[in-house]
């Protein structure tokens, strides 16, 4: 592969030059240096990739499960072997601290593959009535992904898609294309058959061209709700299947019996990790009004541990945001919140004094936030936590559910029954109890404007199936035994 001449599209098993001369500058958000110049793929590139994936589908969909899982195992080994290079690349593309990059930005995609391998072998044909239900692959999948967990969001789609027998065209975020190029090298070295995995690079227009191409059967999109709507509209013309993992404004409910010295510092982590650039960030802290002052004091103390710095320094906990556009949008959100009556507990919108350069935002806590304020309703995607008070449990649940989104949520309590009762009433795709870590075996996805469909584990794999019923006039004796 020769990136300097723009040959960074991987189509039909070969590195090819784009049909476009447009380029995208990849900028390190900490140093603001241009670190690479990537091709902005054309409509023709999208078509070439879709056709290559369609051509490969007939044979890939007929391979044995063992063969498909074998490819995923080799890709997993390839990611592990290049983990340090991938972690550094992701940190320089989007700014997250190198320690986090090594642990999460590489650990999660490896976990995604494992979660697929763990469930794929169990999904045999089922017998229902007189029919055998065969899990056919849905077809050619367009995977369109964002920049905040770039490799994780890619693998959460393509590992199950490939295991199911689908072929894939990946269009990663134009902010973070370089890790995807390494992934394509890994697929190539792993002996992926031609056209099974294809990579095109580009922005919104390249994505639209891909979604609209007649050879694409399904679009799996992760990104903003605005982007998801546009993708769903373009896919509706097919119509084609869509899975949408979109934004969030998730609530973290602190019950009055929670261990506050443990819950509040951990809640900051649930809001600030990856500089808050997490779709499932628990960015609304719903607290008992009677404990608000105590909670603000614990939070103001705990925030001191969230140091900003050079993301390549292993001691740094918070790097810059992914780019200046993101920084400007978070600054506007903080300023808007204060204008609408929220009170700044700590942080603020100004460029941090110690970080005069780069897309940095000081971790910020706002209190006296109310559900009608923009800061409580709109996704911020930055290290900003909004504290909202409640009078009783019913009000806490009402505030949590008073959102256009429904991706994630959290509950903290010393009593498991109380915590479960609240969790069951939250209208979200998942609820985290007492700071539990992510469970990649469990389904991940949202309700309301947070999306359609689920990723990870068994539910994630099933998204890529088109179940086919093969029906006999009467059940065969073998099938009757199975039912």
| Residues annotated as part of the active site | 245, 279
3-state secondary structure of 40: coil
**To the nearest whole angstrom, how small is the minimum distance from the Cβ of residue 248 to ligand NAD?**
6
Task: Give 197 or 390: the residue with its C-beta nearer to ligand NAD.
Answer: 197
Chain-centroid distance of CA 186 in Å reads: 21
Binding mask 132-171 for ligand NAD (x = CB under 6 A): ------------xxxxx----x-----------------x
Which of the stretches 76-84, 187-195, 243-251, 258-266 binds ligand NAD when contact is defined by CB under 6 A? 243-251
Q: Nearest to residue 158, comparing CAs of 148, 144, 147? A: 144
Task: Give 93 or 245: the residue with its C-beta nearer to ligand NAD.
Answer: 245
**To the nearest whole angstrom, how small is the minimum distance from the Cβ of residue 476 to ligand NAD?**
42
β-sheet with 251-254: strand ranges across: 343-346, 364-367, 384-390, 284-288, 251-254, 409-412, 432-433
Rounded-to-integer distance, Cα 195 and Cα 229, Å = 28
Q: Nearest to residue 143, comparing CAs of 121, 119, 112? A: 112
Task: Give 247 or 288: the residue with its C-beta nearer to ligand NAD.
Answer: 247
**Which region, left, alpha or beta, applies to residue 449 given φ > 0 means left and ψ of -120 to 50 means alpha?**
alpha
Pairing of strands 384-390, 364-367: parallel
Task: Give 208 or 367: the residue with its C-beta nearer to ligand NAD.
Answer: 208
Binding mask 203-242 for ligand NAD (x = CB under 6 A): xx--xx--x----------xxx--x--xx-----------
138, 140, 183, 246: residue in contact with ligand NAD (rule CB under 6 A): 246
Rounded-to-integer distance, Cα 203 and Cα 200, Å = 10
Rounded-to-integer distance, Cα 154 and Cα 180, Å = 8
Binding mask 273-312 for ligand NAD (x = CB under 6 A): ------x---------------------------------
- Containing 50, the helix (H) or strand (E) segment is helix 43-60
Is the backbone peptide bond immediately before 52 cis, with ω within 30 degrees of 0?
A: no
**To the nearest whole angstrom, how small is the minimum distance from the Cβ of residue 48 to ligand NAD?**
17
- Dihedral of alpha carbons 143, 148, 151, 156, sign: negative
Binding mask 340-379 for ligand NAD (x = CB under 6 A): ---------------------------------------x
**To the nearest whole angstrom, how small is the minimum distance from the Cβ of residue 344 to ligand NAD?**
24
57, 100, 381, 390: residue in contact with ligand NAD (rule CB under 6 A): 381
- By beta carbon distance, the residue nearest ligand NAD is 207
Q: Is residue 373 within 8 Å of 276, Cβ to Cβ?
A: no
What secondary structure letter does DSSP report for 280? Answer: T
Task: Give 146 or 347: the residue with its C-beta nearer to ligand NAD.
Answer: 146
Q: Is residue 69 within 8 Å of 31, Cβ to Cβ?
A: no
- Site size toward ligand NAD (CB under 6 A) is 30
Task: Give 89 or 346: the residue with its C-beta nearer to ligand NAD.
Answer: 89
Residues in 171-190 at the binding interface with ligand NAD, rule: CB under 6 A: 171, 173-174
Please work out, in degrees rounded to the nearest 5, the angle formed at the alpha carbon of residue 120 by the alpha carbons of 440 and 278: 25
**To the nearest whole angstrom, how small is the minimum distance from the Cβ of residue 149 to ligand NAD?**
6
**To the nearest whole angstrom, how small is the minimum distance from the Cβ of residue 49 to ligand NAD?**
14
- Containing 140, the helix (H) or strand (E) segment is strand 140-144
The backbone torsions φ and ψ at residue 253, rounded to the nearest 5 degrees and listed phi first, read -95, 125
3-state secondary structure of 483: coil
Task: Give 196 or 211: the residue with its C-beta nearer to ligand NAD.
Answer: 211
Q: How many CB atoms lie within 10 A of CB 353?
A: 7
463 is a contact residue toward ligand NAD (CB under 6 A): no
**To the nearest whole angstrom, how small is the minimum distance from the Cβ of residue 322 to ligand NAD?**
8
- The residues binding ligand NAD (CB under 6 A) are 144-148, 153, 171, 173-174, 203-204, 207-208, 211, 222-224, 227, 230-231, 245-248, 279, 379, 381, 407, 446, 451
């Amino acid at each position: 592969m020769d990136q300097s001449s723009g040959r960074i599209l991987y189509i039909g098993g070969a590195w090819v030059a784009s049909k476009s001369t447009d380029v995208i500058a990849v900028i390190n958000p900490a140093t603001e240096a241009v670190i690479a110049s990537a091709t902005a793929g054309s409509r023709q590139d999208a078509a070439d990739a879709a056709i290559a994936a369609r051509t490969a589908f007939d044979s890939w969909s007929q391979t044995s499960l063992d063969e498909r899982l074998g490819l995923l195992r080799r890709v997993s080994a390839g990611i592990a072997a290049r983990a340090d290079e991938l972690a550094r690349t992701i940190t320089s593309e989007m700014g997250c601290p190198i320690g986090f990059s090594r642990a999460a930005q590489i650990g999660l995609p490896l976990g995604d593959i494992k979660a697929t391998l763990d469930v794929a072998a169990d999904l045999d044909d089922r017998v229902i009535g007189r029919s055998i239900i065969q899990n056919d692959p849905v077809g050619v999948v367009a995977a369109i992904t964002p920049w905040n967990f770039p490799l994780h969001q890619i693998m959460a789609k393509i590992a199950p898609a490939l295991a199911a027998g689908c072929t894939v065209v990946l269009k990663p975020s134009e902010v973070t294309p370089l890790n995807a190029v390494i992934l394509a090298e890994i697929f190539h070295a792993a002996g992926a058959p031609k056209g099974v995995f294809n990579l095109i690079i580009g922005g919104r227009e390249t994505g639209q061209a891909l979604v609209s191409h007649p050879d694409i059967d399904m679009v799996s999109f992760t990104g903003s709700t605005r982007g998801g709507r546009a993708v769903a509209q373009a896919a509706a013309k097919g119509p084609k299947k869509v899975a949408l993992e979109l934004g969030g404004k998730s609530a973290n409910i602190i019950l009055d019996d929670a261990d506050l010295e443990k819950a509040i510092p951990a809640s900051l982590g649930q809001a600030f990790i990856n500089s808050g650039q997490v779709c499932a960030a628990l960015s609304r802290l719903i607290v008992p009004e009677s404990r608000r002052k105590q909670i603000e004091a614990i939070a103001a103390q705990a925030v001191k541990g969230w140091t900003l710095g050079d993301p390549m320094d292993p001691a740094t906990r918070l790097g810059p945001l992914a780019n200046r556009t993101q920084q400007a949008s978070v600054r506007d959100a903080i300023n808007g919140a204060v204008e609408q009556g929220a009170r700044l507990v700590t942080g603020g919108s100004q460029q941090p004094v110690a970080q005069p350069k780069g897309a940095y935002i000081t971790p910020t806590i706002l209190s006296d936030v109310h559900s009608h304020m923009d800061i409580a309703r709109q996704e911020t995607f930055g290290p900003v936590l909004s504290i909202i008070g409640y009078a009783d449990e019913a009000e806490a649940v009402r505030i949590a559910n008073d959102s256009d989104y429904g991706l994630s949520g959290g509950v903290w309590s010393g009593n498991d029954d109380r915590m479960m009762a609240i969790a069951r009433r939250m209208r979200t795709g998942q609820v985290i109890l007492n700071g539990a870590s992510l469970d990649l075996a469990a389904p991940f996805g949202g309700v309301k404007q947070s999306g359609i469909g689920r990723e990870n584990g068994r539910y994630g794999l099933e998204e890529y199936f088109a179940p086919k019923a093969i029906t006999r006039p009467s059940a065969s004796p073998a099938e009757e035994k199975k039912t």
